[in-house]
Amino acid sequence: EAGVAQSPRYKIIEKRQSVAFWCNPISGHATLYWYQQILGQGPKLLIQFQNNGVVDDSQLPKDRFSAERLKGVDSTLKIQPAKLEDSAVYLCASSNRARLMSEQYFGPGTRLTVT
Amino acid sequence: SQQGEEDPQALSIQEGENATMNCSYKTSINNLQWYRQNSGRGLVHLILIRSNEREKHSGRLRVTLDTSKKSSSLLITASRAADTASYFCATAQGGSEKLVFGKGTKLTVNP
């Protein structure tokens, strides 16, 4: 089966600019996650969707970050305006809700550099 | 906040040797998962162990879980250069599917 797709793979922007990332999960996976991974650390969950509804966004900086999954498939994560500390890899993952508490499948990530 | 803490932070071994990484966590869990991340890439799921399991094997991987000590270990036997990567433990708590990752162990296997 095809894996989780993400684009772009790399993005360089200046602080205060905006940026958007796209994710296409594995077909049939109802649960989608966005993680932020700062260099040298483990991934930190930003937001979790179940179909097109938000399950957990407690660690999403809502003053600048937003995410949507309108049709319960693809998702976009936006940062506006970006800060230097947003430099990180943004990972998208999906899981099969039918298998409760199952493994997550990760995309290759988008490496964001804010200058 | 990060739930799991891997130990050691970095490990360098020769090809053919065994590598052991440890993970400690703070709260009760439903399951604990180990992931591998090659440089500049996404994470790959290795193995999942449930809270009522004590040991699990998958190929050259052996995972143990001690819920009384809130710790887990990942053993990679007969390591290969291709095992060079960062390894993360992640815990699932309560009824949530939310995973909380540790900071990882960076493993280098020298040919």
Would an 8 Å CB–CB cutoff place B33 in contact with chain A?
Answer: yes
Of A40, A42, A97, the CB nearest to B88: A42
Distance CA A27, CA A49 (A): 15
Q: Residue A100: is its pLDDT beyond 60?
A: no
> Are the Cβ atoms of A103 and B44 closer than 8 angstroms?
no
Q: Residue A15: is its pLDDT beyond 70?
A: yes
Average pLDDT, chain B: 91
Average pLDDT, chain A: 93
pLDDT of A99 = 56
> Are the Cβ atoms of B99 and A45 closer than 8 angstroms?
yes
pLDDT of B34 = 96
Would residue B2 be called left, alpha or beta, if left means φ above 0 and alpha means ψ between -120 and 50 degrees? beta
Q: What is the mean pLDDT of residues B72-91?
A: 96
> Are the Cβ atoms of B101 and A44 closer than 8 angstroms?
yes
pLDDT of A12 = 98
Of B30, B42, B48, the CB nearest to A106: B42
- A64 to chain B, closest Cα gap in Å: 20
> Are the Cβ atoms of B103 and A105 closer than 8 angstroms?
no
**Residues in chain A closer than 8 A to B44 (CB atoms):** 106
Number of C-beta neighbours around residue B34 at 10 A: 26
- Residue A101 — very low, low, confident or very high, per pLDDT cuts 50/70/90? low
Q: What is the mean pLDDT of residues B43-63?
A: 95
pLDDT digits (tens, 9 = 90+) for B3-15: 668 889 999 999 9
Burial code of A20-45, b = ≥16 C-beta within 10 A, e = fewer? ebebbbbeebbbbbbbbbeeeebbbb
Q: What is the mean pLDDT of residues A44-67?
A: 93
- B12 to chain A, closest Cα gap in Å: 17
Of B40, B92, B101, the CB nearest to A101: B92
Q: Which residue type sits at A13?
A: I
pLDDT of B104 = 94
pLDDT digits (tens, 9 = 90+) for A69-97: 988 899 999 999 999 999 999 999 999 86
Of A48, A102, A107, the CB nearest to B42: A107
Q: What is the mean pLDDT of residues A40-55?
A: 92
Q: What is the mean pLDDT of residues B82-107?
A: 88
Q: Residue A105: is its pLDDT beyond 80?
A: yes
